[in-house]
Amino acid sequence: MATALPGDAIPADDAARSLRELCARLVAGPSATAVLEHWCRERGAASSPGLVAHAVPGAERPPSPAQRERLEMPRDGLVRYRRVRLSCGSRVLSEAENWYVPERLTTAMNALLDTSEVPFGRVVHALAPSRRNLGLRLLPAAEHPASAAPHAPLFAIEALLLRQDGLPLCEVAETYIGAVLARDEGHPA
């Protein structure tokens, strides 16, 4: 008879399988927010499965010329920057940098992004955006995900979020950390 593992301990093959599955879901999904909220519910990571976007203080990062081109923005067009840590319950799952075009959002959406902890994907959900991935990189901790510290970066994804007409709303750079693979006790692997 197998011994039950503590809540955050995951056998190496289960951790690797979970890592592959999460990467595949994020790459295939139209919204990282929706994928992570579903992931949290499945893993019992919080009694309330909604994600919270906690602002990370720091300097504004203007978009690079390549980002402006991908966003289809002129050199002098307004692009806003938002950096957050996404958490589910008490567990931080990822950090995201977001360069977005406020004129392509509603006034209410811009107000939520300025004043709330609502993740970008949930704010723009009514626009039914799609996601075009620019790249996924596995980071060193992904080589041994079962032993990765909760704060260790596992993988990074860069993507564009597009309106239904194909016009970009934002570019996002997401870094997912070890805590994203944890399960709460009582939730099977």
* pLDDT tens string 44-75: 765 565 799 999 998 999 999 999 999 999 98
Residue 42 lies in a domain: yes
The beta strands (E) that lie in 29-152 are given as 51-55, 80-88, 91-100, 130-138
Average pLDDT over residues 7-35: 83
Summarised one tens digit per residue, pLDDT across range 158-184 is 999 999 999 999 999 999 999 999 876
The CATH number of whichever domain residue 97 belongs to comes to: 3.40.1410.10
Residue 3 lies in a domain: no
With beta carbons less than 8 A apart as the criterion, state whether 95 and 84 touch.
yes
Residue 187 lies in a domain: no
What local confidence, expressed as pLDDT, does residue 41 receive?
Answer: 86
Residue 6 pLDDT > 90: no
Residue 72 lies in a domain: yes
What local confidence, expressed as pLDDT, does residue 13 receive?
Answer: 78
Q: Return the residue matching tokens 């840590």.
A: 85
Residue 186 lies in a domain: no
What local confidence, expressed as pLDDT, does residue 11 receive?
Answer: 53
With beta carbons less than 8 A apart as the criterion, state whether 124 and 100 touch.
no
* Full residue range of the structural domain in which residue 38 is found: 12-181
- Would strands 130-138 and 80-88 be described as parallel, antiparallel, or unpaired? unpaired
Q: What is the pTM of this model?
A: 0.88
Angle at the Cα of 58 (from 55 to 63), degrees rounded to 5?
A: 95
What secondary structure letter does DSSP report for 125? G
Q: What is the number of domains present in the chain? A: 1
Average pLDDT over residues 153-157: 97
Summarised one tens digit per residue, pLDDT across range 30-40 is 899 999 999 98
Compute the distance between CA of residue 23 and CA of residue 141 in angstroms, rounded to an integer: 14
Residue 1 lies in a domain: no
Residue 6 lies in a domain: no
Summarised one tens digit per residue, pLDDT across range 69-90 is 999 999 899 999 999 999 988 8
Residue 124 lies in a domain: yes
Compute the distance between CA of residue 142 and CA of residue 155 in angstroms, rounded to an integer: 7
Question: Which tokens sit at 160?
Answer: 């564009």
Percent of the chain with pLDDT over 70: 88
**Sheet with 51-55: strands ordered across:** 51-55, 80-88, 91-100, 168-177, 153-162, 130-138
